[in-house]
A = this chain, B = another copy of it.
Amino acid sequence: MRDPEATLRQHALPVTAQRVAVLRAVSQHPHATADDLAESVRGELGTISRQSVYNVLNVLTDKGIIRRIQPADSAALYEDRIGDNHHHLVCRSCGKTEDVCCAVGDAPCLTAHSHHGFKIDEAEVIYWGTCPTCQQKPRD
């Protein structure tokens, strides 16, 4: 994220310290939870309410400035990288999350064959596995 303030203005959002800080935090910590981000912002701003973190994240998500992903058994994660239709790879053991470019070309899984009369607008893909670190640990 080059300039959080400019980004906010481009979307007609009043610029506040909280928004700038949260947006910067999302940019610096991809795949962080709301709580992680709150912690991060507190290190920078000194203080921010839990509710404000949620407010900001919701507004930014609604405006399409950031993206929310919600893997099973995890709080929502946020990321900066949008518009490129990438997917995610999550470690079942530690939750570590990585970006994955759509494997076969641009949007293969996305071929929205109309099914059951639904109008499909997105195909979300999550690859589940075990990260290198966890592969070395003894499984319980």
Docked complex Cα distance between A92 and B89 (Å): 23
**Interface residues in A84-100 (C-beta closer than 8 Å to B):** 89, 91-92, 98, 100
Q: A46: shortest Cβ distance to chain B, in Å? A: 32
Whether A119 pairs with B130 at a CB distance below 8 angstroms is yes
**Interface residues in A108-140 (C-beta closer than 8 Å to B):** 108-109, 111-113, 115-132, 135
A-B contacts besides A69-B72, A119-B135, A124-B127, 13 pairs, CB < 8 Å: A68-B72, A70-B72, A72-B76, A98-B115, A103-B111, A108-B109, A109-B125, A117-B131, A118-B129, A118-B130, A121-B128, A123-B126, A124-B125
15 A/B residue pairs, CB under 8 Å, sorted by A? A68-B72, A89-B115, A92-B121, A103-B109, A104-B111, A117-B135, A118-B127, A118-B130, A121-B128, A122-B127, A122-B129, A123-B128, A124-B125, A124-B126, A124-B127
